[in-house]
Amino acid sequence: MQEQTVKRALELLADGTVNRVLGWKTGEFAYDTTPAVFTSAEEVEKSFIYNDFCGPNLSKYLIKESRKEGKILVFLKPCDTYSFNQLCKEHRLIRENIYVIGVPCTGKVSAEKIKSSGIKGITGMESDGENVTVHTLYGDSTVKKSDAMGAKCSTCKSKKHVAFDELIGEDGEVNNDNARFEMVEKLEAMSADERYEFWRGELSKCIRCNACRNVCPACSCENCVFDNPESGIQQRAAVNSFEENMFHLIRAFHVAGRCTDCGECSRVCPQNIPLHLLNRKYIKDINEFYGDYQAGADLDTRPPLNAYTFDDCEPSIVYKKGGNE
């Protein structure tokens, strides 16, 4: 895969189709990849990578990049193309300045997941697609890849690219098994008090670093309400535990109906808060109230929360389903 992606990047740079390439390069650690813009063939040859560690969703970077001079090549995994579509739908990208190559994905390895299984002192990692070899200060160990994937990938929603100019490899299928809602169902089954305890336990870990907001492709406002002195709620997350909860809940509400469930919020959270569960709860509710809807699956359907149809369920039903008592 690495060879094919590099080959196409070099070709497109050489024939002038694009003048930049948006992809991944190795970060601080071998397993810690980071998004990068490459402006020359040399840079691509030197540091472009595409492997089982390339988790980051590159779509959001295109908001700024597509407004620059010339066309940019971007590599998108299947789930990233949903974010890409959603951004196009919201007129946040200048599509004609972007050349999309869809790359296949069999799930990305999460270093956090591996660390959480008790492996310490990691110095490097390699994946052969089946197993991940983890090099540590204390010697090597092997983990099955399926056990090394984060929440985002272990319940992958789709292997199908919904937007691309060309594809490398074969396209996959949409996964409709709804396994991604299992944890949401568990939370729904809890009593209100238990659920509150669960979320207080998670959200109290928040250090207000804003990584979730900054990485989220749906959080692309010119001026975020949490930064806007006019909004009356700016910089409140650190005030007390109520505001801390509300920061995350308001953020989830703001992206409701637009969140494609790309899972970046949880992936980047340095405190490992399962923020994606809030979004999945809204997605599940929207599906149940208004029929299945996948944000970013296409460019034309109206999101249920921004559309009215005669067969929309009545507000009383929303209330009944939503109320615990």
Partner 1 sequence: MQRIGVFVCHCGTNIAATVDVKAVAEAMKNEPGVVFSVDYQYMCSEAGQNLIQDTIKEQKLTGVVVCSCSPRMHEATFRKAAAKAGINSYMVEIANIREQCSWIHKDIMTATEKAIILARTAVAKVQLNAPLTPGESPVTKRALVIGGGIAGIQTALDIAEAGFDVDIVEKQPTIGGKMTQIDKTFPTLDCAACILTPKMVDCAQNEKIHIYAYSEVESVSGFVGNFTVKIKKKARYVDTTKCTGCGICTEKCPKKSVPNEFNLGMDNRRAIYIPFAQAVPKVATIDADNCNMLKNGKCGVCAKVCTAGAIDYKQQDEIIEEQYGAIVAATGYNPISLEKYDEFAYSQSKDVVTSLEFERLTNAAGPTSGQLLRPSDGKHPHTIVFVQCVGSRDTSGCGKEYCSKICCMYTAKHAMLTREKYPDTDVYVFYIDVRTPGKLFDEFYRRAVEQYGVHYIKGMVGKVAPRADGKLLVQASDLIANEQLHIEADMVVLAAAIEPDKSARSIATMLTASMDTNDFFTEAHPKLRPVESPTAGVFLSGVCQGPKDIPETVSQASAAAAKVIGLLSKDKLTCNPCVAHSDELMCNGCSACEKVCPYGAITYSDKEFRQPDRTVAIRRVASVNEAVCQGCGACTVACPSGAMDLKGFSNKQIMAEVDAICK
**Chain residues in the site for partner 1 (CB under 8 A):** 67, 90-92, 220-225, 228, 230-232, 254-255, 258, 302, 306-307, 310
The 10 Å CB-count burial string (b at 16+, else e) for 231-249 is: eeeeebbeeeeeebbbbbe
- Residue 165 vs 312, nearer CB to partner 1: 312
Nearer to partner 1, 152 or 258 (CB): 258
- The CA-atom distances, in angstroms, between 86 and each of 107, 254, 286, 294, 300 are 22, 14, 17, 10, 10
Give least dist CB 221 to partner 1, A.
Answer: 4
Is 19 in contact with 75 (CB distance < 8 Å)?
A: no
Closer of 34 and 231 to partner 1 (Cβ)? 231
**Closest by Cα among 228, 222, 287 to 259:** 287
Taking the complex as a whole, the smallest distance from the CB of residue 139 to partner 1 amounts, in Å, to: 50
- The least CB distance from residue 142 to partner 1, in Å, is 45
Q: Which is nearer to partner 1, 118 or 308 (CB)?
A: 308
> Please, what is the minimum distance in Å from the beta carbon of residue 68 to partner 1?
11
Cα gap 183→120, rounded to integer Å: 27
Residue 189's contacts (CB-CB under 8 Å, 6 or more residues apart) are: none
User: Cβ 21 to partner 1, closest distance in Å?
Assistant: 23
* CA dihedral of 18, 19, 24, 27, whole degrees rounded to 10: 180
DSSP letter string, 155-173: T--B-S-SS-SEESS----
Closer CB to partner 1, 200 or 302, in the complex: 302
* Beta carbon nearer to partner 1, 46 or 68: 68
State in angstroms the smallest separation of the CB of 225 from partner 1: 5
**Cα(239)–Cα(314) distance, rounded to whole angstroms?**
37
Can you tell me the distance from the alpha carbon of 146 to that of 143, in angstroms, rounded to the nearest whole number? Answer: 8
Q: How far apart are CA 40 and CA 14, in angstroms?
A: 9
Q: DSSP class of residue 307?
A: -
DSSP annotation of 311: T
Compute the least distance from the CB of residue 232 to partner 1, in Å.
6
Nearest to partner 1 of 23, 304 (CB atom): 304
